[in-house]
Chains A and B, each alone.
Chain A
């Protein structure tokens, strides 16, 4: 099976002179379609930088970035932007819903970016909101939704244009434990149903049990891989026991 994405020998640094800071050092990272892949590690280890490069919101200094059969490092800004619109779904730590748009309008944004007709976009958005259990919240503004509902709206927005890669940045860090598990179950279904690769950057050990594979970053590169739920379970037994108790 072809990998959904493959990042090879990626370097990225910020600043120059005395403020020069290397964020990624010859980092390698790859994921398969239909799998839920976790990227973990301490703060400042380069997880978000790697995620940003993977989804084309940040340019690497060097290295090969192949995502869904496309070489992002060979594309210009316009092409990368179009690629993101078509193929990538985003789920953010702070949801990043537009507060002046209703839930339905927020969800329809990716379709409108792809120039889908407004009524079709709205219909699809409403359908997806129904799937995430928010059928009755279509016309609500984000401020009137709970944080869990907001994250579900964000998930619906990430999936409405049927992307092949979904990137999630700390999707549960703003949520309580129960809501966090609901959201992760939803994301696991997303990965399985659509053969999508779902990459989750997280600090939250409560959700490690949802990972099918996990990579740990440290000092700008992947230091360790756990290649099955069993390996992950073994490595994080204490955390998972805690989860089961919950």
Chain B
């Protein structure tokens, strides 16, 4: 009867096309909405991904890496080092700066400036495309992430090169290395890495300049355990790297309108898909009332017919879902590299659930209708 159910479905080409289109459209809206949302969310904790440190210590008022306007005292790094189980601790500067590539006639662009501990360069990114970390010891040296090399250039097709200089807050900086960062920073052209001492020269002076203290546990301790000890001993907020990412994401969800907008897109996708598909499938069932009645009269159990209807809805739904995923994947494939839109398996799985839900709703409408069909209908002309 499975084949019969599918033939009944695919025999109605116009209905199937409408049904598949509805699901496809809903899938596109939901996948792009969720991908965009997760992409933007990922930029909120990009700094905690790109800097490699097991423990992040921040002011007691700060629990994220999105925006930090509560720096630490310079002495806080010593307090952290003194906590039992801490292998090392290093200060970190994170702030915004304006970059202009004067030699190429570029305009000012915002970057995230990272000042790594001058002695140890602890937490530095590790994936070098050109140059090395030690090159940061040179005068005015900065390391730039690969996407910023293109975006800071007035002509993105001709990215900046090693050795080129630019002005950062009107002070000279020279590119000595290029790194690959795994996550793009939110609303910025990219990352510029330098030493802590040099970073604080690039930005206006303040009484407190240490944005975070990065730390690592001794081998015998876990990061979570040592982070807890740091919090207890210093009163500062200490997180594992995973903890600060999650905390940053939560902060972003609470404080940004983006999740609401994304939720709206996903909700509209779900609603549109449900309405189009539900209505179309219900019409399909209505138009097949007589044939379903014939099958019932000939001895098909109601439960079996319900399974056939569910199968029809699910097959149409999965085709629409596959088509939608294919189309959105093509769109994402041709999107700019720095676009936050990425096809992610969890998103595809997350969208599959409401798509199956839409199909279940559509099938339920059809099954309710079918269950009310009297087999005696077949004798009516």
* A residues whose Cβ falls under 8 Å from a Cβ of B: 48, 51-52, 55, 57-58, 77-78, 81-86, 88, 90, 92-94, 96, 98-101, 105, 109-110, 112-114, 118, 169-170
B300 touches A100 (CB 8 A): no
**Closest CB of chain B to A85's CB: distance in Å?**
2
Give the segment of B6-14, B238-246, B317-325 that binds chain A.
Answer: B6-14
A105 touches B4 (CB 8 A): yes
In the bound complex, residues from chain B placing their C-beta under 8 Å from that of A105 are: 4, 7
In the bound complex, residues from chain B placing their C-beta under 8 Å from that of A51 are: 379
Interface status of B158 (Cβ within 8 A of chain A): no
A82 touches B298 (CB 8 A): no
What are 9 residue pairs bridging A and B, where the CB atoms are less than 8 Å apart in the complex?
Answer: A57-B296, A57-B297, A57-B378, A58-B374, A58-B376, A81-B301, A90-B297, A110-B298, A170-B381
B12 touches A100 (CB 8 A): yes
B297 touches A93 (CB 8 A): no
Determine which of A93, A96, A101, A109 lies in contact with B290 in the assembled complex, contact meaning CB atoms within 8 Å: A96
A78, B4: Cα distance in complex, Å: 21
Taken residue by residue from 149 to 192, chain B's Cβ proximity to chain A (1 for < 8 Å, 0 otherwise) reads as 00000000000000000000000000000000000000000000
Once A81-B299, A84-B299, A96-B290 are accepted as A-B contacts, the answer to whether A57 and B8 lie under 8 Å apart by CB is no
Q: Of all chain A residues, which has the CB nearest B304?
A: A113
A57, B3: Cα distance in complex, Å: 25
Instruction: Please indicate which of the listed interface residues A55, A57, A88, A90 has the most CB atoms of chain B within 10 Å of its own CB.
Output: A57
Determine which of B298, B302, B379, B381 lies in contact with A85 in the assembled complex, contact meaning CB atoms within 8 Å: B298
In the bound complex, residues from chain A placing their C-beta under 8 Å from that of B296 are: 57, 81
A81 touches B8 (CB 8 A): no
What would 6 more interface pairs be, CB under 8 Å, given A85-B299, A92-B379, A99-B291?
A: A48-B379, A58-B374, A90-B378, A98-B291, A99-B11, A113-B299
In the bound complex, residues from chain A placing their C-beta under 8 Å from that of B4 are: 98, 101, 105, 109, 112
Instruction: Please indicate which of the listed interface residues B4, B290, B302, B380 has the most CB atoms of chain A within 10 Å of its own CB.
Output: B4
A112 touches B299 (CB 8 A): no
Determine which of A52, A88, A98 lies in contact with B379 in the assembled complex, contact meaning CB atoms within 8 Å: A52
**Closest CB of chain B to A18's CB: distance in Å?**
22
Taken residue by residue from 281 to 299, chain B's Cβ proximity to chain A (1 for < 8 Å, 0 otherwise) reads as 0000000001100111111
A98, B298: Cα distance in complex, Å: 13
Determine which of B300, B302, B375 lies in contact with A113 in the assembled complex, contact meaning CB atoms within 8 Å: B300
Once A57-B297, A86-B299 are accepted as A-B contacts, the answer to whether A52 and B10 lie under 8 Å apart by CB is no
A83, B10: Cα distance in complex, Å: 30
In the bound complex, residues from chain A placing their C-beta under 8 Å from that of B291 are: 96, 98-99
B301 touches A112 (CB 8 A): no
**Closest CB of chain B to A42's CB: distance in Å?**
16
Determine which of B3, B374, B375 lies in contact with A118 in the assembled complex, contact meaning CB atoms within 8 Å: B3
A101 touches B300 (CB 8 A): no
A168, B96: Cα distance in complex, Å: 86
Q: Of all chain B residues, which has the CB nearest A98?
A: B291
Q: Of all chain B residues, which has the CB nearest A94?
A: B381
A92 touches B378 (CB 8 A): yes
Interface status of B353 (Cβ within 8 A of chain A): no
A51, B8: Cα distance in complex, Å: 28
**Closest CB of chain A to B376's CB: distance in Å?**
4
In the bound complex, residues from chain A placing their C-beta under 8 Å from that of B220 are: none
A169 touches B379 (CB 8 A): yes
In the bound complex, residues from chain B placing their C-beta under 8 Å from that of A170 are: 381
A105, B295: Cα distance in complex, Å: 13
Interface status of B1 (Cβ within 8 A of chain A): yes
A100 touches B298 (CB 8 A): no
A113, B295: Cα distance in complex, Å: 8
A114, B297: Cα distance in complex, Å: 13
A78 touches B301 (CB 8 A): yes
Q: Of all chain B residues, which has the CB nearest A158?
A: B298
In the bound complex, residues from chain B placing their C-beta under 8 Å from that of A84 are: 297-299, 375
Q: Of all chain A residues, which has the CB nearest B296?
A: A81
In the bound complex, residues from chain A placing their C-beta under 8 Å from that of B378 are: 57, 90, 92, 96
A81 touches B3 (CB 8 A): no
Determine which of A85, A93, A98 lies in contact with B8 in the assembled complex, contact meaning CB atoms within 8 Å: A98
Q: Of all chain B residues, which has the CB nearest A47?
A: B379
**Closest CB of chain A to B50's CB: distance in Å?**
57
**Closest CB of chain B to A125's CB: distance in Å?**
12
In the bound complex, residues from chain B placing their C-beta under 8 Å from that of A77 are: 302
